[in-house]
Structure 1
Amino acid sequence: MAFAMSLSSEKKSRSTIFFPDVVKTDIMNFIKENGELKTLKKGELISKDILLNNFIYLKSGLLFYIKRTNNYTKPKFVNVIIPNRLTDYHLLLEDNCTCCKSIKVARDSEIILIDKSLIKSLIKKDIELFTHFMFDANYFTERQTALAIFLLTSSPEDKLIKFLFDILVALKTAFSSKWLTINLKLTREEIADILHISVIKLDLMLGSLKKKGMLAKEKGGFNINTTLFNELSPCPLGREDAQGCKSNNMSKFKVKNMIEIKSY
């Protein structure tokens, strides 16, 4: 069985589930050329109208993408959105409600809004770029599904290890030394929300890792001993055939295999 630490940098990136993938260059250029730049303050909530009608690209700062659940003991899932990512591909083609989703500005941020209608118009104007949107939307959805299953079926300890690994990968950390620094500053409460656990449980796990010599707390962050990741699977669901969390379904999802989109 392969292990996550043995993957190349590109495959490490594909194996992350806690963070959306970096936006591809052609999509990013389209967003920057056609979008509207907005500056937001920490603590703001992005309005439902904006969420319903726009894609939201994070240029700088930090966002929390929050999805409500029906479990009163664990009422929400929280995704961390770091720069150069889209918050979601929600409602790419359909105009439905967003009642279970919200976006909170976790730190002062700059976002770019791109109207969904502009993306839909690419069906006629630039089918290749539209296809890239569709491909990335499917990939985003698959990773979100994997994350939900992982959070609901994994132990708190496994969730913490996977999250720490994903942070290091998302921040483009070179796995070249025994100790690695996490520079993303998150509060204990924020990490607990992301992992779908209690703050008390998080504190107990962090204390245990510190005693084992796997973690050293620094001001505003952590230093992690890479030994912690030695047995981490490339896939959070333990698929032995995983290639950086691109499942067989996504491997078959090629542009040439897409159903032809006809304009009427």
Structure 2
Amino acid sequence: MARVMSLSPEMKGKSTIFFPDIVKPDIMSFIKENGELITLSKGELIPKSILLNNFIYLNTGLIFYIKRTNNYTKPKFVNVIIPHRLTDYHLLLENNCTCCKSIKVARDSQITIVEKSLIKNLIKEDIELFTRFMFDANYFTERQTALAIFLLTSSPEDKLIKFLFDILVAFKTEFISMWLTIDIKLTREEIADILHISIIKLDLMLGSLKKQGMLKKEKGLFSINTALFSELSPCPLGREDAQGCKSNNMLKFKMKNMIEINNV
């Protein structure tokens, strides 16, 4: 089986599932040219009216995209959104319900909101850019599906290891030394929510990793021994042929093919 540590930095990025992909430069330019800048304080909830009618791009800070479940023992899924990402693509073409979704400002943040209608109009004004939005929407959905399956079928230990790896990759950490520092402070409660586990279980796992010499904490930041990732597969679902989590299914959605389909 392929091992994630042997991948190039680009392929490491494709193997992550806990974080949305960074927004492409052309889409980022469109957002900045057409969006409205909003500053938010820690603890705020983004109004449902904004969530329903706009795309939300994070410039700086940290936000949590929260989806409610029907399991009272595990009432929510939490996606952590770091800068230069969009929160969701599910509202791209339709006015879908947002009753089970909310966005909480985890740290003081600055966001850019873009009216969904402007993106929909791209199908007439710039079909290539609209197609890239659609391509990224498919990729986002596929990644979210992989994350949900992984969280529901993996052990708490595997979830923690995968999350630690993904956060290092998302912050563009170079894997060139034995100890790597996670350059973001998250509370125990936040990590437990992201991993869909209890705080007690998280504390037990963190304590075990410290005893094994795989994790230490300095100045409030975690440092991870790269040996922890030696057995980690590029695919969270353990596919033998995995070369990162960007599924071969996405190869069907070539830009040229999608443009031709939309012009029929």
TM-score under structure 1 length normalisation: 0.98
Residues 1:261 and 2:262 are matched in the alignment: yes
Moved more, 244-253 or 225-234: 244-253
Structure 2 CA distance, aligned partners of 1:169 and 1:238? 19
Indicate the SS of the match to 1:260: helix
CA distance in 2, matches of 1:230, 1:223: 16
- Cα distance between partner residues in 1 of 2:175 and 2:81: 22
Counterpart Cα distance in 2 of 1:252 and 1:121: 24
- Equivalent residues in 2 for 1:15-26 (5 A)? 15-26=15-26
Match of 1:69 in 2: 69
What SS does the corresponding residue of 2:137 show, helix, strand or coil?
helix
Counterpart secondary structure, 1:107: strand
Deviation per residue, 1:88-123 (Å, 9 max, x gap): 112110112111110000000000000000000000
Count residues in correspondence: 263
5+ residue gaps, structure 2: none
Matched, 1:137 2:146: no
Listed as ranges, the gaps of 5+ residues in structure 1 are: none
Contact 2:57/2:112 (8 A) holds in 1:
yes
Counterpart-to-counterpart distance in 2, 1:3 and 1:179: 18
Q: Distance in 2 between matches of 1:26 and 1:18?
A: 24
Q: Once the 2 structures are TM-superposed, how far is the Cα of residue 252 of structure 1 from its aligned partner?
A: 2.3
Please say if 1:50 is aligned against 2:31.
Answer: no
Distance 2:216 2:95 in 1: 47
For residue 245 of structure 1, what is the aligned residue in structure 2?
245
CA deviation vs aligned residue, 1:188-237 (integer Å, no higher than 9, x gap):
00000000000000000000000000001122211100000001000000
Runs of 4+ in 1 over 3 A off after TM superposition: none
1:127 aligns with 2:139: no
2:109 — aligned with what? Answer: 109
Percent sequence identity is 83
1:262 Cα offset (Å): 4.2
Tell me the TM-score normalized by structure 2.
0.98
Secondary structure of 1:18 counterpart:
coil
